[in-house]
Amino acid sequence: MSDSEDDGPPQLSSHALAALQEFYAEQRLRTEPGADEKYNIGIIEENWQLSQFWYCQETALRLAQEAMRAAGDGGRIACVSAPSVFQKLRELQGEGASACIFEYDKRFAIYGDQFVFYDYNKPLDLPDSITAHSFDIVVADPPYLSEECLQKTSETIRFLTRAKVLLCTGAVMEEEAARLLGVRMCKFIPQHTRNLANEFRCYVNYDSGLD
């Protein structure tokens, strides 16, 4: 912007204008009919400060079904930083779902005993009620695409799982994920409610239905 009076009315830079247009477009999307269903999971709206990007309904359903299949009848499922999979499991299995949600966002404490507060920076700082290798499968979607975040989240995953892991993260994390968790990339490509800048993929360490 210029503040000289001779230059006429103040002008926004092209960057500032683009950012403003994006902001207003986003506001319109959020207030248009159906926006609640599109961008919220249950009653919980995405909070970008917490790196929250929800799966679309079809992806949440596919991952929940895969977790149930892999866990087997009565098997326990841990959803680590993957709340929409947890919510889908509750839809499919009812309130008594044998699943837990490990989350930093305390809004998910509405799920009572099934909610476990979790900060990936303290990977093994979990309540005593959560014992080692007590879940048949762990579904995880770490909040950041960094080696450090994947490394710490992997520590939690290895502690929780009996064996099976279903990890969702960026395609760029493929090598690191293989090294830390022994997982390989699936053909199935998870989709989100909005387009992400990074290519996202699923990884498993067992014969899954996602290929």
Render the burial of 163-190: b for 16+ CB within 10 Å, e for the rest. Answer: ebbbbbbbeebeebbeebbebebbebeb
Complex with ligand SAM: residue 98 or 117, whichever CB lies closer:
117
User: What is the smallest separation between the CB atom of 10 and ligand SAM, expressed in angstroms?
Assistant: 38
Given the complex with ligand SAM, which of 61 and 178 has the nearer CB atom?
Answer: 61
Q: 77 has which bridge partners?
A: 99, 137
For the bound state, the minimum distance from the C-beta of residue 9 to ligand SAM, rounded and expressed in Å, comes to 42
**In angstroms, what is the minimal distance from the CB of 143 to ligand SAM?**
4
CB 64 within 8 A of CB 89: yes
Q: In angstroms, what is the minimal distance from the CB of 16 to ligand SAM? A: 28
Decide whether 118 or 135 has the Cβ nearer to ligand SAM: 118
Q: State which residue, 199 or 207, has the beta carbon closest to ligand SAM.
A: 199
Residue with Cβ nearer ligand SAM (84 or 154)? 84
Minimum distance, C-beta of residue 58 to ligand SAM, in the bound complex (Å): 12
In terms of CB distance, is 75 or 143 closer to ligand SAM?
143
Would you tell me which residues interact with ligand SAM (CB under 6 A)? 50-55, 81-85, 103-105, 118-121, 141, 143
Shortest distance, position 116 Cβ to ligand SAM, whole Å: 11
